[in-house]
Amino acid sequence: MEQRRDRSPWAWIPTLYFFQGIPYSIVMITSGLIYKTMGISIASFAFWTSLLYLPWAVKPLWSPYIDVVSTKRNWVVWTQLLLGVAFIAVGIAMPLPVFYPLTIAIFAVIAISSATHDIAADGFYMYALDQHKQAFFVGIRSTFYRFAMLTALGVLPVVAGLIQKNTGLESVTFEARSVAPKEYTSFNPSDINIIKSDKEPEILLFPRDLQVPLYRAGESEIDSSVIYIALSAPPAEGETVVVNVTRKTGSKDIDISKKQTGRFEFNSSNWNKPVALTVRVNHNLSVNASSGFLVTAGNIAFSWTVSLGLIGIVLLLLAIYNRIMMPHAAEETNREKIGWNVYKDVFVSFFTRPGVIPALIFFLLYRLGESQLVKVATPFLVDSRSTGGIGLTSAQYGIAYGTIGMACLTLGGILGGITAAKFGLKRLILIMALCMNIPISVYIFLSYVQPMPGNITIYLAIALEQFGYGFGFTAYMLYMLHYVGESRYKTAEYAIGTSLMALGMMLPGMISGSMKELLGYQHFFIYVILCSVPGLLAIRFLKIDPAFGIKKKEK
The answer to whether residues 239 and 278 belong to one domain is: yes
Of 240, 266, 297, at which residue does a domain stop? Answer: 297
Q: Are 175 and 163 in the same domain? A: no
For 298, other C-beta atoms within 10 Å of its C-beta total: 24
Angle at 132 between CA 127 and CA 134, to 5 degrees: 45
Tell me, what's the pLDDT at 162?
Answer: 80
Residues 6+ apart with CB under 8 A from 270: none
Q: Which domain holds residue 54?
A: 1-167+301-338
* 80 and 315 Cβ atoms separated by less than 8 Å: yes
Q: What is the pLDDT of residue 555?
A: 46
What is the predicted pLDDT for the residue at 2?
Answer: 46
Domain stops at, among 282, 315, 338: 338
Chunked into runs of 10 residues, the chain (555 residues) has average pLDDT values of 66 92 86 77 71 79 77 92 97 91 95 92 84 78 81 78 80 92 89 89 91 86 92 86 84 84 85 93 87 86 91 96 87 55 79 88 87 78 76 68 78 85 86 88 91 86 89 84 77 80 77 83 91 89 82 57
- Bridge partners (DSSP) listed for residue 501: none
| Same domain assignment for residues 466 and 547 | yes
Are 546 and 467 contained in the same domain?
Answer: yes
Burial of residue 345, with CB atoms counted within 10 A of its CB: 0-12 exposed, 13-18 middle, 19 or more buried: middle
Q: Do residues 52 and 87 both lie within one domain?
A: yes
> 207 preceded by cis ω (within 30°)?
yes
pLDDT for res 332: 57
Beta strand ranges found along 233-361 (DSSP E): 241-250, 254-256, 263-266, 275-281, 290-297
Same domain, 44 and 121: yes
Which of 297, 320, 355 is the last residue in one of the domains? 297
249 and 122 together in one domain:
no
Q: Are residues 460 and 365 in the same domain?
A: yes
CA atoms within 13 A on the CB side of 63: 32
Residue type, 46: A
* Secondary structure (H, E, C), 141-210: HHHHHHHHHHHHHHHHHHHHHHHHHCCCEEEEEEEEEEECHHHCCCCCHHHCCCCCCCCCCCEEEECCEE
Same domain membership, residue 311 and residue 240: no
Domain count, the chain: 3
Q: Would the pTM count as exceeding 0.85?
A: no
| HEC sequence for 46-97 | HHHHHHCCHHHHCHHHCHHHHHHCCCHHHHHHHHHHHHHHHHHHHHHHCCCC
- Are 367 and 484 in the same domain? yes
Q: What is the pLDDT of residue 313?
A: 96
CATH number of the domain where residue 481 is located: 1.20.1250.20
d(CA 264, CA 230): 10
Q: Give the per-residue pLDDT at 91.
A: 94
306 and 283 co-located in one domain:
no
Other beta carbons within 10 angstroms of residue 545's beta carbon come to 13
pLDDT of residue 108: 94
DSSP codes of every residue in 286-314? -S--EEEEEEEE--HHHHHHHHHHHHHHH
228's enclosing H/E stretch is: strand 224-231
How many C-beta atoms lie closer than 10 Å to residue 425's C-beta? 26
Q: Are residues 102 and 115 in the same domain?
A: yes
Instruction: Give the H/E segment covering residue 138.
Output: helix 131-150
